[in-house]
């Protein structure tokens, strides 16, 4: 067994399985002199302790009183933010009930096992909390204590310098690296910085990342309420992919909504704007959780989309972002009667960019939107009644391909004898508005409940506008979009 006597750590024993030097130490704060945990100094294959690990340990010892004061409140806040999960998973004693719990009570259920110091300057505790089965990492090296679920923090969260040095360019316009995103279960997503190949991360992005790290606890605490408000206000717009019973407006709460949320990326644009790009119950409902503004905002779609390399300010359309060779923006529309947010796409002319005719089409549509909203249900009802047999075949095909069972609701609700123009509108979802390059065609692309998949445009529909009024397109006609 290999041993050393380090000038700072003193007697240490090498643990081959952990690639670390170890010893038992007293926690030194509030657990008493007889409470010991493992000091683990990571060393890798080199088996040498480096100076900044010694400096990190001395900083830890010097800052114990501040750690004690700040950590108690951090732990209490973490418990309250995850209370519903803890209460559902374990039989909590009375002193841990949400209306009486305090920092002393939560500290009594904190059971640290290890003080770690890695080779990047991170240090903190690995601990059990509430139960032996629930593991947390308490990072102490970032100025303020931060808590992450699990003991995998060191595998997925290098320090700032390590993040910036390990980013790789993916030829889609951003530098990226997988990291843990500490929200609602700590999923692993991509950290993404907008840039060109061989371009360095700029100062605005570095400062934004530092700001993100400093305020992460605030984001984790406040996002659920903002997200809940967004979901309730936009539920009608989201009904296609939020049909789970516990996400309905009268039943949804912060916990059920956060459990349905998957954060795919932490994104930073060149100007230092940043936020989480996420999905709610599936890729069809993408949202941006914007963290860089004075107040947290949730917007429909990936507004901070990593594939948007530039923007323009058009005299009519306003601010547009370039996305897959189209200029796009998000704006509210009352086309569905709910004043929801939708994506607007403008296909630029190969020579002239956005044309005067496209601008005029946009103005004409805005002027006549209320009229179109009244016309669409009648048009859709005529289409549904005339093509009902084909639609039913498509529904059956969808059920076979996707394994869907028959709905529990009345099977005759949408049949020919009972369908109305109000009911038929329940069967479509407005996806986006597009203004075509030729300036002659513009309209809404919609999804239907008989689509075989979200991307199967051959069974989707569109409402195209012109001087003559509205036409419906489907199948081959829709490919023009």
Q: How far is CA 199 from CA 160, 167, 269, in A?
A: 18, 12, 13
- Quick one: 354 and 416 in the same domain? yes
Please indicate, yes or no, if residue 329 is contained in any of the structural domains: no
Mean pLDDT, the chain cut into blocks of 10 residues (481 residues total): 86 86 74 71 74 81 81 91 88 93 92 84 87 89 79 54 64 69 68 73 82 84 88 62 64 82 84 84 71 85 54 78 76 76 81 83 90 90 88 77 57 81 86 85 85 50 82 58 45
The total number of structural domains in the chain stands at: 3
pLDDT for the residue 284: 52
- Nearest CA to 296 among 230, 223, 224, 209? 223
- Quick one: 264 and 291 in the same domain? yes
pLDDT for the residue 403: 58
By residue count, the chain amounts to: 481
**146: CB partners within 8 A, 6+ apart:** 74, 138, 139, 182, 216, 217
- Quick one: 11 and 150 in the same domain? yes
Please indicate, yes or no, if residue 357 is contained in any of the structural domains: yes
How far is the C-alpha of 407 from the C-alpha of 427, rounded, in Å? 14
pLDDT for the residue 44: 64
How far is the C-alpha of 142 from the C-alpha of 57, rounded, in Å? 14
pLDDT for the residue 406: 55
Domain boundary among 154, 180, 215: 154
Q: How many CB atoms lie within 10 A of CB 442?
A: 24
How far is the C-alpha of 336 from the C-alpha of 426, rounded, in Å? 10
The pTM of this model reads 0.41
31 by Cβ neighbours in 10 Å (0-12 / 13-18 / 19+) ranks as: middle
Please indicate, yes or no, if residue 377 is contained in any of the structural domains: yes
Domain boundary among 154, 170, 204: 154
Q: How many CB atoms lie within 10 A of CB 9?
A: 19
- Nearest CA to 146 among 53, 84, 52, 218? 218
pLDDT for the residue 242: 47
How far is the C-alpha of 40 from the C-alpha of 213, rounded, in Å? 25
- Quick one: 120 and 215 in the same domain? no
- Quick one: 149 and 169 in the same domain? no
48 by Cβ neighbours in 10 Å (0-12 / 13-18 / 19+) ranks as: exposed
- Nearest CA to 373 among 419, 428, 313, 417? 428
Please indicate, yes or no, if residue 174 is contained in any of the structural domains: yes
**Token pair recorded at residue 178:** 């997988």
- Quick one: 200 and 140 in the same domain? no
Q: How many CB atoms lie within 10 A of CB 84?
A: 16
Please indicate, yes or no, if residue 313 is contained in any of the structural domains: no
- Quick one: 59 and 127 in the same domain? yes
- Quick one: 141 and 167 in the same domain? no
> In this structure, are strands 261-268 and 187-194 parallel, antiparallel, or unpaired?
parallel
How far is the C-alpha of 420 from the C-alpha of 216, rounded, in Å? 49
Residue 238 · residue 228 · CB < 8 Å: no
Residue 167 · residue 193 · CB < 8 Å: yes
Calculate the CA dihedral of residues 9, 139, 147, 299 and round it to 10 degrees.
-170
Please indicate, yes or no, if residue 93 is contained in any of the structural domains: yes
How far is the C-alpha of 291 from the C-alpha of 223, rounded, in Å? 9
The full 3-state SS of the chain, as one line of letters, equals: CCEEEECCCEEEEEECCCCEEEEEEECCCCCCCCCEEEEEEECHHHCCCCHHHHHHHHHHHHCHHHHHHHHHHHHHHHHHHCHHHHHHHCCCCHHHCCCCCCHHHHHCCEEEEEEEECCCCCEEEEEEECEEEEEEEEECCCCCCEEEECCCHHHHCCCHHHHHHHCEECCCCEEEEEEEECCCCCEEEEEEEECCCCCCCCHHHHHHHHHHHHCHHHHHHHHHHHHHHHHHHCCHHHCCCCCCHHHCCCCCCHHHHHHHEEEEEEEECCCCCEEEEEEECCCCCEEEEECCCCCCEEEECCCCCCCEEEEEEECCCEEEEEECCEEEEEEEECCCCCCEEEEEEECCECCCECCHHHHHHHHHHHHHHHHHHHHHHHHHHHHHHHCHHHHHHHHHHHHHHHCCCCCCCCCCCCCCCCCCHHHHHHHEEEEEEEECCCCCCEEEEEEECCCCCCCCHHHCEEEEEECCEEEEEEHHHHHHC
Buried b (16+ CB within 10 A) or exposed e, 396-409: eebeeeeeeeeeee
- Quick one: 174 and 51 in the same domain? no
- Quick one: 16 and 121 in the same domain? yes
Domain span holding position 382: 340-480
- Quick one: 162 and 266 in the same domain? yes
- Quick one: 56 and 77 in the same domain? yes
Domain boundary among 92, 124, 154: 154
Please indicate, yes or no, if residue 312 is contained in any of the structural domains: no
Please indicate, yes or no, if residue 416 is contained in any of the structural domains: yes
pLDDT for the residue 308: 45
């Amino acid at each position: 067994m290999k041993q050393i006597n380090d000038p700072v750590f003193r007697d240490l024993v090498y643990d081959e399985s952990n690639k670390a030097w170890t010893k038992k130490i007293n926690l030194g704060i509030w657990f008493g002199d007889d409470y010991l945990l493992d000091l683990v100094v990571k060393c890798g294959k080199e088996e040498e302790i480096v100076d900044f690990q010694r400096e990190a340990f001395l900083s830890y010892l010097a800052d114990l009183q501040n750690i004690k004061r700040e950590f108690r409140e951090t732990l209490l806040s973490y418990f309250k933010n995850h209370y519903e999960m803890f209460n559902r998973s374990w039989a909590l004693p009375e002193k841990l009930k949400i209306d009486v719990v305090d920092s002393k009570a939560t500290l009594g259920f904190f059971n640290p096992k290890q003080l770690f110091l890695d080779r990047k300057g991170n240090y903190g505790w690995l601990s059990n909390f509430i139960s032996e089965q629930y593991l947390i990492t308490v990072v102490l090296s970032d100025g303020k204590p931060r808590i992450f679920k699990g003991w995998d923090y060191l595998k997925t969260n290098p320090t700032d310098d390590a993040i910036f040095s390990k980013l790789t360019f993916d030829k889609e316009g951003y530098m990226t690296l997988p990291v843990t995103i500490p929200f609602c279960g700590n999923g692993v997503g991509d950290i993404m910085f907008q840039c060109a190949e061989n371009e360095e991360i700029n100062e605005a992005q570095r400062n934004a990342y530092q700001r993100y790290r400093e305020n992460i606890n605030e984001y984790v605490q406040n996002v659920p309420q903002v997200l809940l408000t967004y979901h309730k206000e936009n539920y009608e717009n989201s009904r296609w992919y939020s049909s789970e019973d516990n996400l309905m407006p009268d039943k949804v709460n912060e916990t059920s909504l956060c459990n349905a949320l998957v954060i795919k990326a932490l994104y930073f644009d060149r100007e230092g704007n940043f936020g989480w790009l996420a999905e709610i119950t599936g890729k069809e409902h993408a949202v941006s959780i914007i963290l860089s503004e004075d107040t947290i905002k949730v917007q429909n779609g990936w507004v901070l989309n990593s594939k948007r390399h530039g923007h323009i300010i058009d005299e009519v359309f306003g601010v547009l972002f370039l996305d897959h060779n189209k200029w796009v923006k998000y704006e509210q529309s009352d086309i569905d009667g709910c004043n929801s947010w939708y994506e607007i796409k403008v296909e630029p002319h190969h020579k002239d960019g956005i044309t005067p005719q496209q601008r005029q089409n946009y103005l004409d549509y805005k002027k006549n939107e209320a009229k179109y909203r009244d016309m669409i249900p009648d048009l859709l009802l005529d289409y549904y009644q005339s093509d009902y047999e084909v639609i039913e075949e498509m529904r059956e095909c969808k059920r076979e391909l996707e394994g869907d069972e028959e709905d529990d609701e009345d099977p005759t609700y949408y049949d020919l004898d009972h369908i109305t123009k109000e009911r038929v509108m329940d069967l479509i979802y407005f996806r986006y508005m597009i203004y075509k390059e030729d300036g002659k065609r513009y309209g809404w692309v919609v999804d239907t409940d008989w689509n075989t998949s979200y991307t199967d445009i051959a069974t989707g529909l569109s409402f195209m506008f012109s001087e003559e009024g509205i036409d419906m397109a489907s199948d081959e006609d829709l490919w023009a979009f």
